[in-house]
Structure 1
Amino acid sequence: MILSRTYRPEDMAGCLALFDSNTPRFFDVSEREGFVGFLEDQALRWPYQVIERDGRIVGCGGHAVEADGVSVTLCWGMVDNSLHGQGLGRVLTEARIAAARATPGVGRVKLNTSQHTQGFYARFGFETEAVTPDGYAPGIDRWDMVLTLG
């Protein structure tokens, strides 16, 4: 059974296990400290959710409304590496885009990701605005992408 729910502080270990399962291909180990800081602070203030399957956290991700009130940024989305290709990332992304659409005044969704997942987001209509080689770490490029909501 799959359950999507709001992140709680006791979910930190499960979310860090997801991060670790995606290191070093999708995240650099140097990013872990930033994710911990996010979970300790911003995940409790911004919409952030976890996906559970059979009582185990298998995905997490959230979004934040930018100060301009027009943009939503997707943040720290990930699925357990052993479960890639099973549709969990699609469910998580669709839910976050739907939440952005439901936010009054929001007209676009932004994200930054790597070369490994930019194609995944392109399938949802995200377009590349910039690419920064080694933007996260050596061998992990940063792709800034945007989806205009219509």
Structure 2
Amino acid sequence: MILSRPYRPEDMAGCLALFDSNTPRFFDASERESFVGFLGDQALRWPYQVIELDGRIVGCGGHAVEADGVSVALCWGMVDNSLHGRGLGQVLTEARIAAARATPGIRRVILNTSQHTQGFYARFGFEAEKVTPDGFAPGIDRWDMVLKLD
């Protein structure tokens, strides 16, 4: 059974296991410390969800309203590497876009991702604004993307 619920501090190990399952293709090992910091602080202040399948954390991701007041940024979204292609990422992304649409004044959703997942987000209508070769790490390009909600 699939369950989506808010992140709790005791979920950190499960979320880190997801990160590790997606390293080095989707995340560089050097990003792990930033993710640990996020989970220890910001994931409790911003809407951050985990997805459980039969009691095991198999996905996580959140969003945050940007300082401009018109943008929501998707942050730290991932699904267990062994479960890619089964629709969990779609469920997670659709839920975060719906939350953005429900937030008063929000006109766009932004994210940064890699060349490996930009096509996934393009299917939801995200368009590339900027591509930075090796922007995350050698071999992992940074794609800054936007979805206009207007």
1:109 corresponds to 2:138:
no
SS of the aligned residue for 1:86 comes to coil
| Residue equivalent to 1:48 | 48
1:94 corresponds to 2:90:
no
Q: How many pairs align?
A: 150
| Residue equivalent to 1:71 | 71
Give 1:1-150 correspondences, 5 Å limit.
1-150=1-150
Coordinate RMSD, CA, aligned: 0.3
Query: Hey, what's the Cα distance between the residues in 1 that align with 2:66 and 2:132?
Result: 22
Q: How much does 1:68 deviate? A: 1.1
Query: Hey, what's the Cα distance between the residues in 1 that align with 2:73 and 2:131?
Result: 17
SS of the aligned residue for 2:115 comes to coil
SS of the aligned residue for 1:41 comes to helix
SS of the aligned residue for 1:33 comes to helix
SS of the aligned residue for 2:26 comes to coil
- TM-score (norm: length of structure 2): 1.00
- TM-score (norm: length of structure 1): 1.00
Q: Deviations over 1:66-96 (max 9, x none)?
A: 0111000000000000000000000000000
Give 5+ residue unaligned stretches, structure 1. none
Code of the residue aligned with 2:139 in structure 1: it is G
Query: Hey, what's the Cα distance between the residues in 1 that align with 2:64 and 2:15?
Result: 18
Query: Hey, what's the Cα distance between the residues in 2 that align with 1:67 and 1:119?
Result: 27
Q: How much does 1:136 deviate? A: 0.3
Query: Hey, what's the Cα distance between the residues in 1 that align with 2:46 and 2:76?
Result: 12
Query: Where do 4+ consecutive residues of structure 1 move more than 6 Å?
Result: none
| Identity over aligned pairs, percent | 89
SS of the aligned residue for 1:93 comes to helix
